[in-house]
């Protein structure tokens, strides 16, 4: 969407009264009201753009000091669970798939002015239980898309752009009665990939938090590698991929293929881990795959083609990132079990 306010500069700070003036966001009889929160302009039924405000001393403790960050939706703690039907939250959800400009402002502690940090993409959202508030909140994952907020490497640059990957224990949800099936699917696909790798002569590493899983009577750690020994890799690079679901290794020390299985986590988390690894190890040629249910294929493709990710992958053109469905992996596994190794696997 075209920037509707060309005079708004990334990195500049503005007073609330300035932002609430007719020069900026006060449209007719509609102002910004009190400071902070989510504001939809010009109206909630057909939003042209959304304004997000976050402050260091706010009630939601938004973490906004990385390229990818979490933003909590609208709805005060004393009002109960945050609602997806509330028009401000609903508009943010629409921005995931619709062309709606989202402006992000932040106010540092003990500062009265709001700094424009840039335009952001809304990647996804989930409902999280907050024990301290005894309620569910809407957690939106945002990433900067404005070129001045997220610089792209120049042609002379030898450094890859970086993307922060969430830790595996971030954004945990309360127990979900429907989650068991997803966990079973995840473990099954890991098992298929483990067996396929072994059948084709690879050493196979399983994510350190999944090595105790059992499928078809086999505990993963009995047949997989339980640690990574990658010569030349920094501790930072190794720590990123310790939680990649499945890694196929040549001679035990060289990565050939990496697989992220997405059935119980947000799809973008796997893409983030892969692209951040590429940024940390820019000269490594490796085939990477996001493995997800066929029903999620379109969502996977959408995340894989987001500018935040493609500029990293385009920069490292010797790497590839592709989508595989659960059905494809299971079919290849059954075919190999019946007929032996394949010449053309993935």
Predicted structure pTM score: 0.53
For the record, the structure tokens of 64 come out as: 């906004």
Q: Which of 14, 19, 120 is nearest to 62 (CA)?
A: 120
Measured in residues, the chain has a length of 346
Assign 3-class secondary structure to the chain. CCCCCCCCCCCCEECHHHHCCCCCCCECCECCCCCCEEEEECCCCCCCEEEEEEECCCCCCCECCCCEEEEECCCCHHHCCCCCCCHHHHHHHHCCCCCCEEEEEEECCCCCCEEEEEEEEEEEEEEEEECCCCEEEEEEEEEECCCCCCCCCCCCCCCCCCCCCCCCCCCCCCCCCCHHHHHHHHHHHHHHHHHHHHHCCCEEEECCCCCCCEECCEEHHHCCECCCCCCCCCHHHHHHHCCCCEEEEECCCEEEEEEEECCCCCHHHHHHHHHHHHHHCCCCCCEEEEEECHHHHHHHHHHHCCHHHHHHHHHCCCCEEEEEEHHHHHHHHHHHHHHCCCCCCC
- 44: phi then psi, degrees, rounded to nearest 5: -80, -20
Residue 9: count of CB within 10 angstroms of its CB: 11
All domains in the chain, ordered by first residue: 13-144 (2.30.280.10), 179-337 (no CATH)
Distance from C-alpha of 111 to C-alpha of 120, rounded to nearest angstrom: 23
For the record, the structure tokens of 318 come out as: 């010797």
What is the maximum span of the chain, computed from C-alpha positions, in angstroms?
72
C-beta of residue 161 within 8 angstroms of C-beta of residue 315: yes
C-beta of residue 262 within 8 angstroms of C-beta of residue 292: yes
What is the chain's pLDDT, residue by residue, as a tens digit (346 residues)? Answer: 444 554 677 778 888 888 888 777 765 545 566 656 888 877 656 667 888 888 876 544 445 556 677 888 888 887 889 998 888 899 999 888 888 889 888 887 778 888 888 888 888 888 888 887 888 989 888 887 744 443 333 344 444 444 443 333 333 333 333 333 445 688 999 999 999 999 999 999 999 888 999 999 999 999 999 999 888 888 877 887 888 899 999 988 899 999 999 875 456 667 777 877 777 776 778 899 999 998 888 888 887 877 767 777 776 667 888 899 999 999 999 999 999 999 888 8
Q: Which residues of 317-335 are buried (b: 16+ CB within 10 A; e: fewer)?
A: eebebebbbbeebeebbee
């Amino acid at each position: 969407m075209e920037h509707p306010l060309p005079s708004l500069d990334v990195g500049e700070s503005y007073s609330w009264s300035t932002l609430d003036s007719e020069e900026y966001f006060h449209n007719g009889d509609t102002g910004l009201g009190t400071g902070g929160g989510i504001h939809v302009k010009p109206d909630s039924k057909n939003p042209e753009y959304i304004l997000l405000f976050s402050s260091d001393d706010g009630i939601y403790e938004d973490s906004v000091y990385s390229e990818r960050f979490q933003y909590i939706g609208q709805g005060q703690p004393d009002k109960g669970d945050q609602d997806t039907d509330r028009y401000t939250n609903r508009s943010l959800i629409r921005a995931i798939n619709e062309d709606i400009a989202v402006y992000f402002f932040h106010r540092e502690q003990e500062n009265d002015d709001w700094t424009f940090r840039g335009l952001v993409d809304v990647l996804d959202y989930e409902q999280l239980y907050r024990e301290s508030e005894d309620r569910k909140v809407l957690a939106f994952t945002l990433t900067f898309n404005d070129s001045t907020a997220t610089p792209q490497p120049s042609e002379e640059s030898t450094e890859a752009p970086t993307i922060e990957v969430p830790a595996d224990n971030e954004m945990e949800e309360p127990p979900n009665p429907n989650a068991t099936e997803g966990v079973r699917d995840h473990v099954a696909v890991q098992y298929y990939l483990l067996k396929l790798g072994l059948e084709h002569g690879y050493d196979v590493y399983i994510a350190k938090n999944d090595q105790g899983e059992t499928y078809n009577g086999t505990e993963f750690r009995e047949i997989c590698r339980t640690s990574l020994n990658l010569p030349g890799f920094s501790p930072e690079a190794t720590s990123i991929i310790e939680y990649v679901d499945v890694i196929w290794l040549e001679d035990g020390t060289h990565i050939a293929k990496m697989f992220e299985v997405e059935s119980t986590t947000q799809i973008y988390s796997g893409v983030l881990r892969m692209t951040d690894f590429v940024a940390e190890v820019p000269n490594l040629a490796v085939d990477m795959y996001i493995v997800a249910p066929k029903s999620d294929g379109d969502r996977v493709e959408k995340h894989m083609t987001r500018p935040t990710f493609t500029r990293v992958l385009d920069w490292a053109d010797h790497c590839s990132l592709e989508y595989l469905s659960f059905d494809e992996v299971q079919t290849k596994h059954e075919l190999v079990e019946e007929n032996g190794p394949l010449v053309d696997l993935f």
